[in-house]
Structure 1
Amino acid sequence: MNIQRPSRHFIAQGLLAGLIGGVGGSAAKLIGEAVYPPRTQGQEPPPAVLAEKVVGHPLSETHKEIATQFFHWTLGTSIAGAYGVAAEFSPIVTVGYGVAFGIAVMLGTHESTLPLLGLDKPPTQQPLREHTSELATHSLYGFVVEFIRRRLIKRWRAVAS
């Protein structure tokens, strides 16, 4: 693996481009989920389950939606910021034009961490639709993050030279 030592300026650019890409990727994932929802009616989204565990009582539908959106946007943006920095150190992380990154996020959340925390069913108990929706929408998320990140970095570096 080729690991570089980028300048602080390039690290900052990578972080900012990743964060901006994360906003776009998170929006794309939400649109994808509107078209192909991961859960059937009645299934609680994991962020809503987490919010209820934290506060210790059931939440209203409005508060569940607020918690779900907060988690979605915060995680989607912050993890993409880390991805943007990682891409500055080792461009191999951008393999598959960000799709591999999106799938890694899915594996690290929906397929492992969320079930381990009791926020979702184990993968073997999740419906096939949930797996395929999460795979499709996380792939879209990663692709959009990389598309935006790459365009911004290219533009910023062209202006700087």
Structure 2
Amino acid sequence: MAKINYKAALVAGIAAGFVSGLVKLGWENLMPPRTPERDATNPPQKLLEQLGVPKSVTHSTYTYSGHQLPWVSYLVHFSFSSGFGALYSVGGQLLPWIKVGQGIPFGLGVWELFHVELMPKLGTVPRAKEQPLEEHVSEILGHAVWMWSTDLMANQIYQHLNNQK
């Protein structure tokens, strides 16, 4: 059994998670998961508000090229993506079955856990049966592509860092 370079796996997962977070944002531009009304307060904003963070913070924006962009939502989005990238990368070194299917089953499991189970139970999003079909299609495909891209990048970065020795 090869020795695991935990530092390289962690760095690879965080970096891959950040980049795959960009992939997921791009996906959501092509197939928006929520209606404009439901996105007025998106799930990261709603969850933070449920935790007591004021709306003045959760809806804070910055301006780029004339667009108001939700930096707090992006902070949550990229933290989530990098955190799961790290979990996937390190966990996949310890338990290789986690990486079955190039991360797609893992990504679908994350979708199931958060979008079907946890966030509806917390009242952050409607129950799965009350969510539109378009939301499920976007989120299912988006999570598959998100974790697949995490897998590709994390593996490459991990190999690169291990060859730097």
Q: Same fold (TM over 0.5)?
A: yes
Is this contact kept in 1: 2:21–2:81, CA < 8 A? yes
What is aligned with 1:45?
A: 42
CA RMSD of aligned residues (A): 2.1
Tell me the TM-score normalized by structure 1. Answer: 0.86
What is aligned with 1:84?
A: 89
- Runs (4+) of structure 1 moved beyond 4 Å? 4-7
What is aligned with 2:162?
A: 157
Structure 2 CA distance, aligned partners of 1:81 and 1:56? 26
In structure 2, stretches of 5+ residues that fail to align are: 62-69
Equivalent of 1:25 in 7, 20, 24: 20
Tell me the TM-score normalized by structure 2. Answer: 0.84
In structure 1, stretches of 5+ residues that fail to align are: none
Structure 2 CA distance, aligned partners of 1:13 and 1:152? 8
- What amino acid does structure 1 have at the position aligned with 2:102? Y
Structure 2 CA distance, aligned partners of 1:69 and 1:56? 15
Structure 2 CA distance, aligned partners of 1:12 and 1:34? 33
Structure 2 CA distance, aligned partners of 1:83 and 1:126? 28
Between stretches 67-76 and 52-61, larger displacement belongs to 52-61
Alpha-carbon distance, 1:21 to partner: 0.8
Alpha-carbon distance, 1:39 to partner: 0.2
SS of match in other structure, 2:81: helix
Is this contact kept in 2: 1:6–1:88, CA < 8 A? no
Answering whether residue 70 of structure 2 is matched by residue 70 of structure 1, we say no
Alpha-carbon distance, 1:47 to partner: 1.1
Answering whether residue 128 of structure 2 is matched by residue 131 of structure 1, we say no
What is aligned with 1:110?
A: 115
Structure 2 CA distance, aligned partners of 1:56 and 1:89? 36
- What amino acid does structure 2 have at the position aligned with 1:127? P
- Amino-acid identity (%): 24
- What amino acid does structure 2 have at the position aligned with 1:107? E
SS of match in other structure, 1:109: helix
Figure out how many residues of one structure are paired with residues of the other and give that number. 155
Residues 1:118 and 1:62: Cα distance change in structure 2 (over 3 Å): closer
